[in-house]
Amino acid sequence: MIPDYLISINPSIVATEDVDCLIIGSGIAGLRAAIELAGFRVLVTCKNDPYDSSTYHAQGGIAAAIAHGDSPESHFKDTMVAGCFVNDADAVKILVEEGIHRVKELISWGCRFDKNESDFDFTHEAAHSFSRILHARGDATGKEIVHTLLSKISSIPEIVLKGKFFLIDLAGVDNKITGGIFYDATFDNIVFVRAKKTIIASGGFGQIFQETTNPFSITGDLQAAAFRKGAVLGDMEFYQFHPTTFYMAGAPRFLISESVRGEGGILINSSGERFMKHYHPDMELAPRDVVSRAIVAEMRRTNSNCVYLDLRKLNSDFIKHRFPKIYSFCLEYGIDITKDLIPVRPAAHYAMGGILTDFYGRTNLENLFACGEVACTGVHGANRLASNSLLEGLVFGARAGKIAREQLGSFKGSVFNLPSYKVIQQQGPLIDIYDLQRSIKSLMWKNVGIERDETSLTDALNRLETWGKYIFQREFNIQSGWEVQNMFIVSFVMTVAAMKRKESRGAHFRKDFPEPDDRNWKKRQTFTKYNFYKGIK
Residue 533 neighbours by CB under 8 Å, 6+ apart = none
463 vs 472: CA distance, rounded Å: 15
Question: Is 41 marked active-site?
Answer: no
Residue of 32, 102, 253, 288 marked catalytic: 288
290 vs 243: CA distance, rounded Å: 9
Q: 512 vs 39, 135, 288, 294, 452, CA distance in Å?
A: 55, 40, 21, 17, 8
CB 24 within 8 A of CB 180: yes
Selection from 281, 273, 264, 262 nearest residue 298 by Cα = 273
Start-to-end C-alpha separation, the chain: 15
Spell 26-51 as b/e; 16+ CB within 10 A means b: bbbbbbbbbbbbbebbbbbbbbbebb
Which stretch of DSSP H or E encloses residue 233? strand 233-234
> β-pairing, 307-310 with 342-351?
antiparallel
220 vs 423: CA distance, rounded Å: 26
CB 182 within 8 A of CB 168: yes
> Catalytic positions, please?
288
